[in-house]
Structure 1
Amino acid sequence: MPSAAPAEWKGPPSNRTFLGHPVGLFVLFLTEMWERFSYYGMRGLLKLYMVNYLFITVRQTLQGKAYDGAGNPDDVIGWGFVKSLLPTIDPSTLEQCVGEKVKALVAQNPGMLADMANTIASQKCAVEPNASLLYGAYASLVYLTPVIGGWIADKYLGQKKAVYVGAITMALGQFVLFGADNLFFIGLLLLIIGNGFFKPNIATQVGSLYPPGDSRRDGAFTIFYMGVNIGAFICNFVCGTLAALYGWRYGFLAAGVGMCIGLAVQFLGRNALAPDTLQERKSQAVQEEKQSLTANERKRVLALIILCLLNVVFWAVYEQQGNTMQTWADEKTFWPSWASSTWFQSVNPFFIFLFAPFLDRFWAWQSKRGSEPSSVAKMAIGCFILGGSFVVMVAGARIVGGDKGSLFWPVFCTMLLTIGELYLSPVGLSLVTKVAPVRIVSLMMGTWYLSSFLGNFLSGWIGQFYTSMPKEMFFLVLMVLGISAGTAIWLFNKPLKNAMQPESPHGGSSPVSSTAS
């Protein structure tokens, strides 16, 4: 079936700009900043909360402090069922882990009796590999539901309403975590559902602010990505500190308040945003969603799906930040007495807004010289840098051994890892809005996040080997995985580039800029 004529672009109702961009970009910037404050503030606590509080009976009531509380994990609704699905820990692995943890607990808590240390260590070692799996399952599912949320927005709600639904649902999830330990899994479920509505539809609105071919679009996604990471940077100083001073639940409360602030920003700035793609179709009475994709569109969609699948290993390695790298930061790193180990989660976003402007200028310089890599090539480079960053942790694990070590190791690794992320993640977001057919752009954005779903799930599975493998070998595996992912993307660079050429108004394919291919 022949395709309908492309819908006329309808930008934001206001022509006001700030720093050369539509004001709506900064509304979305602030909305996403506070949503990421909420997400990463909770994520930085999640694994430590499960291991040190929720799923053991002798509990650390204040994050990073003494084990001075008591509780029953079986009171958590659904824990019995979830536990039955999780693998049993190998006895020899458990014994080795307990020995190491007893020594660490006694060193960190002078005066702790050996029996108490053994009880805590036994429970922590039994739950830690499964907590890694649960962390990976949660972090993956929040990237699976955007496929459904994007489809619902494209077909029924529109991006704006979907963002409101998602924000309200996520705020409720955070408040459930604050209100009752036993509703832990219900809180996580609300967060997973809410993120499905929110995540694909906030990023899609950034692309809607700019007409096709606007050279500001890549820069807009870089600015938007900085907003993401400002929220991720500040959240751990707030949520982690509240959890350390007043208790875990107050960290979740702060995360919920942050989500409410983001919701308020989106509502107050709603008139600065462009119409939804759904609104455009209704206003023009063009029922594009009932039409088949053209051959060119199908080729572009297939290319995006292949690229998403190639990204899976990148995310599996990258997401160790909140999993095994956070465990290293908590158990194997010296921190000042006034600092919380959860602050480690702010290192990555700090480096993002430090390096993002530099890379933006660097790519512009390369573009003028005609040497800027294509988007697919940038993604391959990002994987190579990600893999290479774990050379630092291999060296750190060898030097630190069974003791604690300097902050240098996880921080320097994260600095390199962040550069790899900047070569892949914002570039991919921009690419989706350029290459995907307009009438399914939110669905394709959800498909982009599907790679994060699979990657996070794989991340949780990989993370369980942190307690059973020598640390040096574990980080070496991460290095090899990252470099292998880069090699795979690099090999597919040319065919993917050719497949992603958009359709010209006169039929056939039209060339695109290097950053769009």
Structure 2
Amino acid sequence: MSDYNKQKIVSSVPQKGFFGHPRGLLTLFFTEFWERFSYYGMRAILVFYMYYEVTRGGLGLPEHTALAIMSIYGSLVYMSGIIGGWLADRVFGTSRAVFYGGILIMFGHLALAVPGSVAMFFVSMVLIVLGTGLLKPNVSSIVGEMYAEEDNRRDAGFSIFYMGINLGGFLAPLIVGTVGERYNFHWGFALAAVGMFLGLVVFVATRRPNLGLAGTIVPNPLRPSEKKQVLTRIILGAAIIAILAAISIRAGILTFDTFIRLVGILGILIPIAYFVVMYRSPKTTGIERSRVVAYIPLFIASVMFWAIEEQGSTILANYADKRTQLDFAGLHISPAWFQSLNPLFIIVLAPVFAWLWIKMGAREPSIPVKFSLALLFAGVSFLVILLPAYFGGSDRLVNPLWLVLSYLLVVIGELCLSPVGLSATTKLAPAAFLAQTMSLWFLSNAAAQAINAQIVKFYTPDNEMAYFGTIGVAALVLGAVLFMLSPSIQRFMKGVR
């Protein structure tokens, strides 16, 4: 996108109207609030829905299978951001991508609301994966478009936007989780669909007056002669994949285990391909190439961090259900409620961190240092959770406060990495790859969950000390390496701080 178009977009957006930020932040805040309510509400009960017995309203799948599916599901959700980012950059812009994605997500949750159907479960997976890939990276890109490059409100704006994400994430497990577990899973999924519908209403009703041209300009559009060729390739590629999948499944080649391995390989290869394409593109300037190089270690650190954080909906969800005292202080705790801890702590601590970064001024840590701190806290969060087994053994139920402490520590790390990473991505992205670089940022989460799908099968209550300890120490080591390399990384960022 040209500098002229960037300035044209900024000028079209009312620059005051939401806590001193562009008015469009109001639209995107509540759109993302409801989208995250729907997604995290679904996710809070999905793993239990998969492995609970049919008599309890579940699908009756083996626990390890359910945990692996959750990781693969999460990986594909973020991996599909590549498609959403490319379509936004080359075909119809970020605003339309958000709208189309919201519709697919809503219908995906409606498919889950159909009782007792494994087929509808997999239909919902496809719809939600594609829908989130369209919506998630592009709504974040629109936030960045509303601010001029030199606007010092940008980081604070992303922190406010991140607050909307976590308000939705906090309420969803409490509401959807309670309805799903105590009454009926399918009523819970229906509530998630209602949440996405409300997000669409907010977006459609307010985008024109609040967002101006943000999200409407295609930064690197296909030429008319290219469109037909690309469409033909997409249809042909989808047909070939469908035929090969059908033949492989029938021949017993494509099993669930081989599919997990395939997603794991793609989770590593696709980011590598993206970095190569962006670096070698003639549309990438010399300064932008240097920034792409600086982005690589940040991406690797993000993969390590999310590999720990995303186990909150898999291993730690199972830990809450099977290993934790759920009757505590006179209250019966739903295991889904623990997934509200992460967004709750973010809501409480995000303003503190936003104030802290501003207060520190020129002494504020650089982006690489913040990422290394994130890995430190993530690693300690896993080392903490192994202590109950060390002191009390693996055959006793654990005080829920240990889980609370683990979630608190990983949230401190998340606040050093996630909003900072969103903002850094918009700064370091080559202009011709703006939405696709945001997709690449979310692809770090996809890679993390693809890796998790390979390793969750090694977790058992008997080896939980080795499991949590190995992953926690690995995060600490990588954090130390990143800290030592941070001055070199900062030089490659060419003025971005």
User: Normalized against structure 1, the TM-score is what?
Assistant: 0.79
Whether contact under 8 Å (2:371, 2:479) holds in the other structure is yes
Could you say which residue in structure 1 is the equivalent of 2:417? 424
Whether contact under 8 Å (2:342, 2:408) holds in the other structure is yes
Could you say which residue in structure 1 is the equivalent of 2:382? 390
Whether contact under 8 Å (1:170, 1:190) holds in the other structure is yes
Could you say which residue in structure 2 is the equivalent of 1:352? 346
Whether contact under 8 Å (2:90, 2:219) holds in the other structure is no
Q: Secondary structure at the match of 1:347?
A: helix
Q: Is residue 166 of structure 1 aligned with residue 101 of structure 2?
A: yes
Shift of 1:397: 2.1
Could you say which residue in structure 1 is the equivalent of 2:57? 61
Task: Please identify which structure carries the higher helix content.
Answer: 2
Whether contact under 8 Å (1:277, 1:439) holds in the other structure is no
Change (3 A) 1:273 1:486: same
Shift of 1:362: 1.5
Whether contact under 8 Å (2:35, 2:196) holds in the other structure is yes
Q: Is residue 381 of structure 1 aligned with residue 316 of structure 2?
A: no
For 2:205, which of 268, 271, 278 is the aligned residue? 268
Q: Secondary structure at the match of 2:333?
A: coil
Shift of 1:481: 2.4
Whether contact under 8 Å (2:31, 2:203) holds in the other structure is yes
For 1:259, which of 196, 199, 205 is the aligned residue? 196
Whether contact under 8 Å (1:315, 1:459) holds in the other structure is no
Higher mean C-alpha displacement, 165-174 vs 17-26: 17-26
Shift of 1:36: 0.7
Change (3 A) 1:243 1:303: same
C-alpha separation between the residues in 1 aligned to 2:44 and 2:3?
47
Shift of 1:460: 2.4
Could you say which residue in structure 1 is the equivalent of 2:165? 228
C-alpha separation between the residues in 1 aligned to 2:34 and 2:491?
38
Could you say which residue in structure 1 is the equivalent of 2:428? 435
Whether contact under 8 Å (2:88, 2:218) holds in the other structure is no
For 2:438, which of 431, 440, 445 is the aligned residue? 445
Could you list the runs of 5+ residues in structure 1 that have no partner in the other structure? 63-70, 74-123, 502-510
Whether contact under 8 Å (1:208, 1:274) holds in the other structure is no
C-alpha separation between the residues in 2 aligned to 1:47 and 1:150?
28
Deviations 1:393-445 (A, max 9, x none): 11122234212121111001111110001000110000011121233210000
Give the letter aligned to residue 86 of structure 2: W
Shift of 1:274: 4.2
Could you say which residue in structure 2 is the equivalent of 1:340? 334
Give the letter aligned to residue 224 of structure 1: F
Change (3 A) 1:161 1:267: same
Q: Secondary structure at the match of 1:349?
A: helix
Change (3 A) 1:281 1:475: closer
Could you say which residue in structure 2 is the equivalent of 1:18? 18
For 2:314, which of 304, 316, 323 is the aligned residue? 323
Give the letter aligned to residue 30 of structure 1: F
Could you say which residue in structure 2 is the equivalent of 1:150? 85
For 2:132, which of 195, 199, 216 is the aligned residue? 195
Could you say which residue in structure 2 is the equivalent of 1:478? 471
Could you say which residue in structure 1 is the equivalent of 2:260? none
Q: Is residue 371 of structure 1 aligned with residue 350 of structure 2?
A: no
Q: Secondary structure at the match of 2:386?
A: helix
C-alpha separation between the residues in 2 aligned to 1:316 and 1:34?
25
Q: Is residue 128 of structure 1 aligned with residue 122 of structure 2?
A: no
Could you say which residue in structure 1 is the equivalent of 2:142? 205
Q: Secondary structure at the match of 2:399?
A: coil
Could you say which residue in structure 2 is the equivalent of 1:34? 34
C-alpha separation between the residues in 1 aligned to 2:392 and 2:178?
27
Deviations 1:196-224 (A, max 9, x none): 10011000111111111101000001111
Give the letter aligned to residue 42 of structure 1: M
Moved >6 Å (runs of 4+)? none
Whether contact under 8 Å (1:47, 1:131) holds in the other structure is yes
User: Normalized against structure 2, the TM-score is what?
Assistant: 0.82
C-alpha separation between the residues in 1 aligned to 2:293 and 2:377?
26
Could you say which residue in structure 1 is the equivalent of 2:75? 140
C-alpha separation between the residues in 2 aligned to 1:461 and 1:315?
15
Q: Secondary structure at the match of 2:55?
A: strand
Q: Secondary structure at the match of 1:303?
A: helix
Change (3 A) 1:259 1:303: same
Q: Is residue 466 of structure 1 aligned with residue 453 of structure 2?
A: no
Change (3 A) 1:469 1:157: farther
Deviations 1:327-353 (A, max 9, x none): 111111122454311001001100001
Change (3 A) 1:329 1:5: closer
Change (3 A) 1:382 1:432: same
Whether contact under 8 Å (2:301, 2:372) holds in the other structure is no
Q: Secondary structure at the match of 2:113?
A: helix
Whether contact under 8 Å (2:378, 2:410) holds in the other structure is yes
CA RMSD, 1 decimal: 2.3
